[in-house]
Structure 1
């Protein structure tokens, strides 16, 4: 089904209409559009699926994890008035995905550790319910400019443990690197996270090549031993809570170190201003 800017998406059951403003993104299961609801005038992200069952499944998953602030809020599930497609209505997240962000900015070590903390926390929540995310990539991670949060915008890739992974991106896929099966489990997610962290810190795209991976790991170990250790723990498939605890404790240390530097700079600036004031005062009295 082709949907263009200016088209109207109308719900069969809700009777609500959404005017398409622009296309936001496209995944293996559906296409996401920024829309304006013609009933309340608000902006929403509407994801359209060719398969109604896929729409219902993603809606159910969004509802199941709606208590997590990192997941978009979902407002409704409906069928299109014309055709056989289904769609879900979600909150519109104003911001950039990590893929776009990295084209303009380079992340610091502290940023990368902070991102690892959020993603490990989120993966831990999925794993508790018996799901692997299986589709962790920069395009699916949004920087919410309004809420100042990282958000996951596509959870259609969630798979029950033990199932074969069908939708994947080769460079984040354990099997493409020859490090295990293409099967949904805890270690599959952690391997993908390890590759993602390497890309974020190095600024380089990782392609499935073991020799290149070894070179990247050597460079990362020199740049940040902490990120190196997080990546190594991910590749070994260690318990997600243990990796989270390690990443979180080091993130707090980074914040404390930054706070000390800020405090020192503030003191230095204050003392400098006092001396400058005294110097000007003495100089002024001298010329008088």
Structure 2
């Protein structure tokens, strides 16, 4: 047998393959491929507990790194973002050593398909839900990193947004481990790849734009202006220009603040907010002019008295 040593080909397991753990002796029958990331392939598998998702790779470091992230996510109170972890083990086949972990199989619609079916009003509901979970994650010192529709599933009864790949989750302050160009602020020239809340919130803004347009865009020279123009050109998305503009500009320090302003825009309060800001700016400018004139008058009076 000729073995292709590309890890993707090595991890390409045909349906019916039995994966038996070296240490825990648990058996998993491969059903079909669910997807693949930068360092492994995820399969739907059958087991004694029913259907599960099995991620396999020949990179032990990447697998253990993701296992540790799943364990940390489980500690985040109220978080349902990541799948539950069931098993971690090794497996040998044709002289190749594999590392894998088994997690909850999250069944549902991919996020893009869900929005296509339900309508754009549901995009705001899902984004608000995502921001709520991200806020808890950020408070625990983690940044999700690789936010994109392919990593997000919507389950039923009730509709809940869940993640099927935590490979990009990174400790705050470090360099982002995995990213997808379209959702990456570095690609758009609007910030670094440092793991911080603002990085995730930029990605959330791009995710929302994608959900409304159902397509991605190629970057032009002026990244920020291009994205704002895209928001303004969509009759429904324009309503959320204020929070999206702020997220794109890295102005939010917390996901909860972005969530609050996004929901305010959904209730039609954006115009009131902008009007209040404009009134405040006008009042501030008027006061500055008044003070300047008074200072000038005092200066003239003092000059004439000399």
TM-score range, shorter chain: 0.7 to 0.9
Are 2:134 and 1:119 aligned?
Answer: no
Shift of 1:106: 6.4
Shift of 1:223: 2.1
Q: Kindly tell me: are residues 177 and 224 of structure 1, through their superposed partners in 2, closer, same or farther at Cα, counting changes over 3 Å?
A: closer
Of stretches 26-35 and 155-164 in structure 1, the one that deviates more from structure 2 is 155-164
What TM-score, normalized to structure 1? 0.78
Q: How does 1:1-288 map to 2 (within 5 A)?
A: 1=10, 2-37=12-47, 40=48, 42-66=50-74, 67=77, 68-82=79-93, 83-101=96-114, 105=117, 107-108=119-120, 110-145=121-156, 148-209=159-220, 210=223, 212-220=226-234, 222-237=235-250, 238-240=252-254, 241-248=256-263, 253=267
Unaligned runs of 5+ in 1: 255-288
CA distance in 1, matches of 2:62, 2:136: 22
SS in 1 for 2:178: coil
Shift of 1:100: 4.5
Asked whether the 8 Å contact 2:228–2:245 carries over to 1, the reply is no
Q: Kindly tell me: are residues 249 and 213 of structure 1, through their superposed partners in 2, closer, same or farther at Cα, counting changes over 3 Å?
A: closer
Shift of 1:229: 2.1
CA distance in 1, matches of 2:31, 2:229: 44
Q: Kindly tell me: are residues 42 and 140 of structure 1, through their superposed partners in 2, closer, same or farther at Cα, counting changes over 3 Å?
A: same
Asked whether the 8 Å contact 1:206–1:213 carries over to 2, the reply is no
Shift of 1:202: 2.6
Q: Deviations over 1:25-47 (max 9, x none)?
A: 1111211100111xx26111111
SS in 1 for 2:52: strand
CA distance in 1, matches of 2:61, 2:157: 32
Tell me the C-alpha RMSD between the 2 structures.
Answer: 2.2
Shift of 1:212: 3.8
Determine which structure has more spread, i.e. the larger CA radius of gyration. Answer: 2
What TM-score, normalized to structure 2? 0.74
Asked whether the 8 Å contact 2:22–2:91 carries over to 1, the reply is yes
Shift of 1:146: 5.7
